[in-house]
Chains A and B, each alone.
Chain A
Amino acid sequence: MKSGILLLFFSFTLSLAWSQSIDHANEVTIENSFDKKAIQAYAVQAQVKVEEFVEYLNLIQDPKNSDELNKQLKQTIMQLFSPDETILVIGGKNKTLSTDLAQWIEDWKHSNLKINSLELITSNLESSYWINEYQLNYQLNETKKGDKMSIQIYFKPQSKKFGKTAKTVWDFKIGHVLFF
């Protein structure tokens, strides 16, 4: 009886491990979906998303902006982020952790931190995203400073609506942003 239960337990464990390995093999990752050259091209495009994000952050801090323009900029920035992921933005005002992107943008708009330049240091590819580390040169209360910034850029197949039709396409979205 005991040996029967043990056999049943082993066979269950084995089948579970086997099904998990199949799931892992079937997982859609960037690496198993594109060749090296294409991944390199998409990595460059991921950097473009970060550069656009920083450009919008600078634009939204212009005190001459109308409320309508700031609303549009805020919407555009939010569009860059993934709606499905928990967004972590650390830094900005008092370097606090924030999961509320809209509030973080509001705080950023009124902060005295202005980004001057951005230089890519490293870019690490994971299964469905890149973690890009940048040297961030900024100005805080007229004092020039330098720090590092880490940004996660997702690249995953997503269902996207093109009018009445929906297609699954690979899409870029920013995940978390860490200002050190």
Chain B
Amino acid sequence: MQLIDDVEKATKQRISEKWVYTHLKPELNEKLPRKDMLDILANYCRVNSWDAFVHSLSQTTVLKKAKFNRLKQWVFPLVSLVAIIGFFLWDFMQIEDSKKIEQENILMKDFYTGEEIKDPSLHLFVKKNGVLEPLDSTKNKALKPETEIVVESPFYLEAKVKKENKSTSIVLKPNDYAMMLKAFIQSDIKDWEARKEQLNTILSDDLEALIHLQDNLGIEYMNKEEFAEKLTLPTKAIKRWQILSLEQDSLQKITKVRIKQH
């Protein structure tokens, strides 16, 4: 009733008690109020008419929307930028972590010098049901302890170890003849006579040297005589050779060598 009096005092117009009970009090009201009554309430709110009141409401909404859009122009890209930077930081940290895992978990050492071996020709495998599967060294944390890890490289003798709980250390014995071959590829004309003699010792008479051409599109075959001649006086093209694999006989003489021509 205070509202009715207050409306009357402010607008000099009166709304009935019945109108209040019909339109304002009930939780559900299916009846539409008359426009002139709404105008009175609009005047009470210091607005000229109900239409003017509705119009001012829509303008407020538009204004709010405009403000929101302006905010959206800055906030959304900023949030996206922060998210992208965050993702890259997280990804970088993951890579760094995986590198740490690799270094922490599998350490390869030279049998004679005890120094760590960081040779890209080293390939890690896991033996599963008697079959060798390439090992992604970044995922070795997932390997169960006692898993057999096999290391292969043309320059080291094959090594097999079982994964330990924390870090696994693998000691590798260098393949002397393979190491010599690697050094000969990079040598200059100096000491060619000694090299020729050593090549005759380390290469089997049955040697098959397979030179893999670019993108593995072809192979050139060389016998011992041709291969030894090439390495006795290495040219610029020979210095671009990369040893892929080696096979040796019981006397450790090289019987087959696969080389990539870069």
Contact = CB atoms under 8 A, between A and B. Distances in A.
B226 interface: yes
A52 B193 contact: no
B43 interface: no
B214 A163 contact: no
Nearest to B210: A169
Contacts of A69: 189, 192
A163 B207 contact: yes
B217 interface: yes
A41 B218 contact: yes
A104 interface: no
A93 B217 CA distance: 40
A162 interface: yes
B71 to A, nearest CB: 58
B233 A163 contact: no
Given A38-B218, A41-B214, A52-B237, A79 B226 contact: yes
A165 B207 CA distance: 10
Interface in B196-242: 196, 204-208, 211, 213-215, 217-218, 220-221, 223-224, 226, 229, 232-233, 235-237
Contacts of A73: 233
Contacts of A59: 189, 233
Nearest to A165: B206
Nearest to B205: A163
A125 to B, nearest CB: 14
Contacts, number: 72
Contact of B204 (A41, A163, A169, A170): A163
B261 interface: yes
A147 B127 CA distance: 61
A124 B215 CA distance: 22
B189 A163 contact: no
30 contacts: A34-B218, A37-B215, A41-B213, A42-B213, A45-B211, A45-B261, A48-B237, A51-B235, A56-B233, A68-B193, A69-B189, A69-B192, A75-B229, A76-B232, A76-B233, A79-B226, A79-B229, A161-B223, A162-B206, A162-B208, A162-B223, A163-B207, A163-B223, A163-B224, A165-B206, A167-B221, A170-B220, A170-B221, A171-B221, A172-B220
Given A75-B229, A165-B206, 10 more contacts: A37-B215, A37-B217, A40-B217, A41-B215, A42-B218, A45-B218, A56-B233, A76-B232, A161-B223, A169-B221
